[in-house]
Amino acid sequence: MTRVSTVQNYNIMTSNLMRAQIRQNEVGGQVSSQKVASDLKGYAKNAEMLTAMRSTQTKINGLVDQTKMVGNRLEMQDTGLGRISNATQSGREAIANALAAGSATTLMQQMTAAFGEVVQGLNAKSNGLYVFSGAKTDTPTTTATTMNDLTSVPITSDLFQNDQYIATNRVDEQTNAKTGILGDAIGTDVFEAFKQVQAYVDANGPFTGNLDDAQVNFLKGLLPVFDAAQKSVVDAQGKNGVTQKRFEAAETDLSNQSDTLTAMVGGITDVDMADAVTRLQAAQLAVQASAQVFSTLQASSLLNVLK
């Protein structure tokens, strides 16, 4: 006699079919998302470790972003300092050339151009912020625009608008470093050197044609003044360069740590795609097999036998 199905058989096969479908959906979700689970619940015993690793990773990524931002500012400081140093050297060379030629016909034009470069260097910006203004990053470091401004104020420091805040930033989780440079600290000596030229012109008239003895003696005395002013800027640029190297090394180290953590987190959260595809195919076969058996049971219904 043909086997007759029972309610129990239907229940068992319906349960098997539902489990197979659930399993297929789970593995299908892993294949499409390439992740083991969509929430911490799906990582069971690794959930606590995963939370700690992600927290550390967020902290390190924050430090990486900060070191990049500080690195950009240090680079602009280096550019500004280089511009000031080169302009001061240009001023010194203009004086030396005038002495060598015995003529100062173009001296003031050259000095004026060099001073303009100094001002541009002092008012250097990074991301729209003045790098030599201390905490007053929205304020130009110096109000001077021409050499005439140098002798229009009682003291040279009146031409600087920076405050005395020196920025400090974290190199890594344990170390801080001073990264700020103040405009008056690097610019005062340079301004004083150019100011002596302007003050001489204000008192004695412009340099024109051949130099007389008084002018020669005055200009010779300026050479060591310009040398000392440039040296102070070069020293500041050197210190800034050392700080740059520290932050570059820190950025590399922090990026390596972030990459390592990313790989470790991926080892927990990422799916082995080859294995997942194999499991998906097996789950699909299980669904098909359960459906086939369920269909067979339907065909062996008592009603079909009575027919």
Those residues whose C-beta lies under 8 Å from the C-beta of residue 220, and which sit 6 or more positions away, are 99
Q: Where are the alpha helices (DSSP H) in the chain?
A: 7-33, 47-101, 107-122, 183-204, 213-269, 273-299, 302-306
- pLDDT of amino acid 255: 81
The total number of residues shown for the chain amounts to 307
Residue that wins the pLDDT comparison between 103 and 280: 103
pLDDT category at 40 given cuts 50, 70, 90 is very low
Among 44-48, 149-153, 172-176, 260-264, top mean pLDDT goes to 149-153
Q: Enter the pTM of the model.
A: 0.71
- What token pair was written down for 175? 């170390």
Does residue 52 carry a pLDDT above 80? no
Summarised one tens digit per residue, pLDDT across range 156-175 is 999 999 999 999 988 877 88
* Residue 72 predicted with pLDDT over 80: yes
Confidence of residue 90 (pLDDT cuts 50, 70, 90): very high
Q: To the nearest whole number, what is the mean pLDDT of the chain?
A: 81
CB atoms within 10 A of CB 288: 12
* CATH code 1.20.1330.10 for 49-265: yes
Q: What is the pLDDT of residue 167?
A: 92
Domain segments of the chain as ranges: 7-34+271-306, 49-265
**61 vs 245, higher pLDDT:** 245
Please tell me the distance from the alpha carbon of residue 182 to that of residue 167, in angstroms, as a whole number: 10
Tell me which of 1-15, 52-66, 246-260 is least confident.
Answer: 1-15
**Which pLDDT value is given to residue 95?**
96
Mean pLDDT in residue range 104-126: 95
pLDDT of 124 strictly over 50: yes
How many CB atoms neighbour CB 90 within 10 A?
Answer: 18
